């Protein structure tokens, strides 16, 4: 089973140029079985919705995932909820959350304003895995002791993510490995992800799969 762990829909992430439906059809054509929708959960995206009601704003954030889920059902695929959060007042850059549920976002609609320790506490309480996205695309200034894993391969062709450094760093700190396409455009499809013997049904099963380590990484250059 081929699973993409890092994709952004144009319905939610302003930096994306591909819709949820086109993401799913593209990954279906590339032979994938599941896509994790990790739209940006940050100040600029959430405030950009211009929705005052916190519940409605989170519901608006979920639109990309919901559209992907409906599209995936037509192909017998799975669309799985993930989140890419950037903490507004902290160093560390983009962080990927696996095993998150909509209820957690509704309970923490200002997650991007939390400290790294507060985020870690929520992940511990809710049993969510916290990964660093593309750790060496810029300066890696995240507190590694707060992480469960790292994206050791980022397949976005428009960035130098220095994946070799990310892999060495993750090995040094005994982090869980992931590979993600960081899909924003059609040409990003099929460049990364994981291969597993099982297909997770939801975010909690994906969390358990990543924690198990029973998968291999997809890397475009290999």
Q: What does the pLDDT read at residue 200?
A: 98
124 class by beta-carbon count within 10 Å (0-12 exposed, 13-18 middle, 19+ buried): exposed
How much is the pTM? 0.97
φ and ψ of 113, to 5 deg: -95, 0
β-pair type (192-196, 176-180): unpaired
| Element housing 35 (H / E) | strand 34-37
Find, among 21, 22, 32, the residue nearest to 70 by Cα.
21
Contacts of 118 (CB under 8 A, 6+ apart): none
Q: What does the pLDDT read at residue 92?
A: 83
Q: What does the pLDDT read at residue 221?
A: 64
Q: Per-residue pLDDT for the chain (222 aa), expressed as one digit of tens each?
A: 999 999 999 999 999 999 999 999 999 999 999 999 999 999 999 999 999 999 999 999 999 999 999 999 999 999 999 999 999 999 888 999 999 999 999 999 999 999 999 999 999 999 999 999 999 998 888 999 999 999 999 999 999 999 999 999 999 999 999 999 999 999 999 999 999 999 999 999 999 999 999 999 999 864
């Amino acid at each position: 089973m081929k699973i993409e762990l890092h994709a952004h829909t144009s319905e939610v992430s302003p930096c994306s140029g591909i819709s949820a439906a086109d993401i799913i059809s593209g990954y279906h054509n590339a032979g994938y079985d599941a896509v994790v929708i990790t739209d940006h959960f940050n100040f600029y995206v959430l405030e950009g919705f211009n929705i005052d009601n916190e519940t409605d704003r989170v519901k608006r954030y979920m639109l990309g995932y919901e559209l992907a889920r409906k599209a995936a059902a037509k192909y017998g695929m799975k669309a799985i909820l993930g989140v890419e959060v950037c903490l507004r007042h902290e160093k560390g850059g983009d962080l990927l959350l696996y095993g998150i549920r909509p209820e957690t976002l509704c309970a923490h609609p200002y997650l991007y304003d939390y400290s790294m320790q507060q985020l870690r506490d929520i992940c511990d309480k809710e049993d969510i895995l916290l990964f660093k996205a593309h750790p060496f695309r810029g300066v890696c200034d995240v507190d590694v002791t707060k992480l469960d894993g790292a994206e050791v391969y980022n397949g976005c062709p428009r960035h130098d993510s220095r994946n070799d450094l990310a892999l060495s760093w993750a090995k040094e700190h005994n982090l869980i490995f992931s590979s993600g396409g960081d899909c924003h455009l059609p040409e990003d499809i099929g460049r990364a992800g994981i291969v597993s013997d099982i297909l997770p049904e939801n975010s909690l099963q994906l969390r358990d799969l990543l924690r198990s380590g029973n998968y291999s990484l997809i890397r475009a250059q290999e």
